[in-house]
Structure 1
Amino acid sequence: MNLMMKKQGAASLRVAVIAAAALTLVLAGCGDKKGGDKASQTAAKVNKEEITVHQINFVLQRQQGLKPEQAEAASRQVLERLIEQELAVQKAQDLKLDRDPRVVQQIEAAKREILARAYVERTGEAVAKPTAEEIAAYYSAKPALFKERRLYSLQEIAIEAKPDQLETLRSKLQAAKNMGEFVEFLKANEFRFTGNQAVRAAEQLPLASLDRIAAMKDGDSVISQGPNGLQVLFLVGSRSQPVGEDQARPAIEQFLTNQRKSELVQKDMKALREAAKIEYVGKFAEGAPGAAPAAEATPAASVAAPAPAPAPAASGLDASAISKGMGLKK
């Protein structure tokens, strides 16, 4: 019985002990070893464990932009990483880390995360691709992203201030000739503030804020009130860089597809919550959602759902590679 428990613990550790640090490699490291007896499928042996060609290919398939002529060198690099991972797993087993409560908890958390994402991916497979007409309609509906796309040079300042100081700050900002003059006022009056400056393309800005920023002229500023003071956004300058529909089409298709997947998963999750018996216990029963709509009941309902899609990459870049913008208020 102890031997069986040890084997089960070792198998669980091999499934997810590295997941928190490198999920891709964990998945590769957990490859099916049923074909390990065939020499052609074995890439290396690490003590009594085998690393297979399938595991290497699994990792290579997830390396975007890999050229055919780079595959051989890349496969050898992946193999070395898998060997080191296997050595780490074996040593962890020797140290009985697979029985450490913290490790067991991490393994279970990684397992749940993998299964939840698998559910999301499977559910999203039912989404139909957007039609050419839908892509064209989106292109026309978002001129700030495409036909009237601009590159923005932005300065952002977050100011700590009390409620009775806000009106003074607004007046000083309106009267200032430029952002530098306003910053000098902040320093002279010992306001605490932080700032940053960056050049951002339209698709790199929060989609909900884009229309507001696109309406600004060079030298304009906008103010948002926050819990600790004011946030000022100043448009230093901008230049036009429009994008045609043909160039934007792949990114729009990806954006609309991701959006539909997210909506489908949320709809399915709502149905699952309604069909399930969910009981809040102990202190969590206090203020429990009760009859509140599932969408408002708890943020946990969206744990398995995809993250909100960023704006389509008008420049033709993959939408998932776009930065999250400057943290502007929506």
Structure 2
Amino acid sequence: MLHPGAEPFSTHNKDLDKMAQRLINPRISLLTAVVAAALLAACGGDKGDKASQTAAKVNKEEITVHQINFVLQRQPGLKPEQAEAASRQVLERLIDQELAVQKAEEQKLDRDPRVVQQIEAAKREIIARAYIERVGESVAKPSNDEIAKYYNDKPALFKDRRIYSLQELQVEAKPEQFETLRAKLDASKSLNEFVEYLKANDFRFTGNQAVRPAEQLPLASLDTIAKLKDGDSLVSAAPNGVSILYLVNSRSQPVDEARARPAIEAFLLNQRKTEAVQKDLKALRDTSKIEYVGKFAQPAPAAASAPAPAELPASDAAAPAPAASGLDPASISKGMGLK
């Protein structure tokens, strides 16, 4: 069965991607406390003086426990039992970094215009991110009713969840060739037969395949893909031709509401934070004087062609289904536009 006019198998929400990167892993604070306690004990306990916070001295400069903790906070996959070994590895890297900084300052590289520009750019980004995080902190968590409604409204993601074995072809073709390709694909007994037709008629194409659970597919395309039966295809126009998504086979693997709840709550909360930030920035733009200068004062040129739909990562073997024994918030976030 052919489904012409289906939306391209593509694109994640970039705004949600950015917001998700700023979420804090709840295990970080516990891990930091464990590391801090271990390091302070190694330093002889917290005696209230600066020495108790010093992990190493590099010439005249000190590296502190707080610096080590800050680096560890950016490694959310770390387990508490790994804290001691990880803290020592971090300390060695900080020592190397301090040596490089001291030598760079000796050579006055910190005054190099390019370095100064990078420092200022990083500073602006950090401050802006802090403000955006502050805006997000005011957002309320979704209620139990909202979580239940989302679960019931997305059967393809939960109640009727499936694991999909997919193949994708990107075929270079002219618009007048689209219908011929659709008809040939519909008449082909298999995708391999269609591929042989492309080769015989000198069509240029690329292909890849992957096994993906529902939560790792683009959320905007999931309902369309969920309607496919094994052997069905989706055909859509691409900037340079035609994109074809072929469902080799699939298997049912539903997820109950109890297992889905943490991932749904995280997604809805992230979505609200994104909306709050966008609303706040719009209000700031509306109340600020923004003047475009020079070439930027001119109307923007016509938009370039949209990029081709994102391809599935090539895979020689089936990728593991991370949510097979439970719904992993990290994996579901990929399909929901989060990372």
Q: TM-score, normalised by structure 1?
A: 0.77
SS in 2 for 1:57: helix
The corresponding residue for 1:58 is 70
**1:178-193 aligned within 5 A:** 178-193=190-205
| Alignment partners' CA distance in 1, 2:48 and 2:248 | 61
The corresponding residue for 1:93 is 105
Counterpart residue type for residue 269 of structure 1: L
Cα distance, 1:36 vs structure 2: 11
- Correspondence 1:151 to 2:163: yes
| Alignment partners' CA distance in 2, 1:100 and 1:322 | 41
The corresponding residue for 2:220 is 208
| Alignment partners' CA distance in 1, 2:244 and 2:150 | 30
| Alignment partners' CA distance in 1, 2:64 and 2:194 | 63
- Correspondence 1:270 to 2:282: yes
For the Cα contact (< 8 Å) 1:144–1:202, is it kept in 2? yes
**1:30-179 aligned within 5 A:** 38-179=50-191
SS in 2 for 1:219: coil
SS in 1 for 2:279: helix
Counterpart residue type for residue 89 of structure 1: V
Over 3 Å counting, the alpha-carbon distance change for 1:322 and 1:255 in structure 2 is closer
| Alignment partners' CA distance in 1, 2:299 and 2:118 | 29
- For residues 66-122 of structure 1, give each alpha carbon's deviation from its aligned partner in whole angstroms, at most 9, with x where no partner exists: 333221111111111111121222222223222222222221221121112111111
For the Cα contact (< 8 Å) 1:158–1:194, is it kept in 2? yes
- For residues 255-287 of structure 1, give each alpha carbon's deviation from its aligned partner in whole angstroms, at most 9, with x where no partner exists: 000000000000000000001100011111111
Over 3 Å counting, the alpha-carbon distance change for 1:322 and 1:252 in structure 2 is closer
SS in 2 for 1:64: coil
The corresponding residue for 1:217 is 229
The corresponding residue for 2:244 is 232
For the Cα contact (< 8 Å) 2:215–2:335, is it kept in 1? no
Counterpart residue type for residue 327 of structure 2: G
The corresponding residue for 2:295 is 283
The corresponding residue for 1:316 is 327
The corresponding residue for 1:242 is 254
Q: TM-score, normalised by structure 2?
A: 0.75
Tell me which of the two structures has the higher relative contact order, counting C-alpha pairs closer than 8 angstroms and 6 or more residues apart: 2
- For residues 210-244 of structure 1, give each alpha carbon's deviation from its aligned partner in whole angstroms, at most 9, with x where no partner exists: 00000000000010101210000000000000001
| Alignment partners' CA distance in 1, 2:241 and 2:282 | 37
In structure 2, stretches of 5+ residues that fail to align are 1-46, 302-322
For the Cα contact (< 8 Å) 2:267–2:333, is it kept in 1? no
The corresponding residue for 2:23 is none
| Alignment partners' CA distance in 2, 1:267 and 1:322 | 23
| Alignment partners' CA distance in 2, 1:320 and 1:40 | 41
Counterpart residue type for residue 86 of structure 1: E
| Alignment partners' CA distance in 2, 1:81 and 1:129 | 38
Cα distance, 1:128 vs structure 2: 0.5
| Alignment partners' CA distance in 2, 1:136 and 1:162 | 46
| Alignment partners' CA distance in 2, 1:157 and 1:96 | 54
- For residues 270-314 of structure 1, give each alpha carbon's deviation from its aligned partner in whole angstroms, at most 9, with x where no partner exists: 00000110001111111179xxxxxxxxxxxxxxxxxxxxxxx79
Q: CA RMSD in A?
A: 2.2
Counterpart residue type for residue 139 of structure 1: Y
SS in 2 for 1:232: strand
For the Cα contact (< 8 Å) 1:41–1:52, is it kept in 2? yes
For the Cα contact (< 8 Å) 1:280–1:288, is it kept in 2? no
| Alignment partners' CA distance in 1, 2:181 and 2:170 | 12
| Alignment partners' CA distance in 1, 2:166 and 2:136 | 37
In structure 1, stretches of 5+ residues that fail to align are 1-34, 290-312, 326-330
| Alignment partners' CA distance in 2, 1:84 and 1:141 | 53
For the Cα contact (< 8 Å) 1:251–1:316, is it kept in 2? yes
Over 3 Å counting, the alpha-carbon distance change for 1:322 and 1:127 in structure 2 is closer
| Alignment partners' CA distance in 2, 1:218 and 1:161 | 26
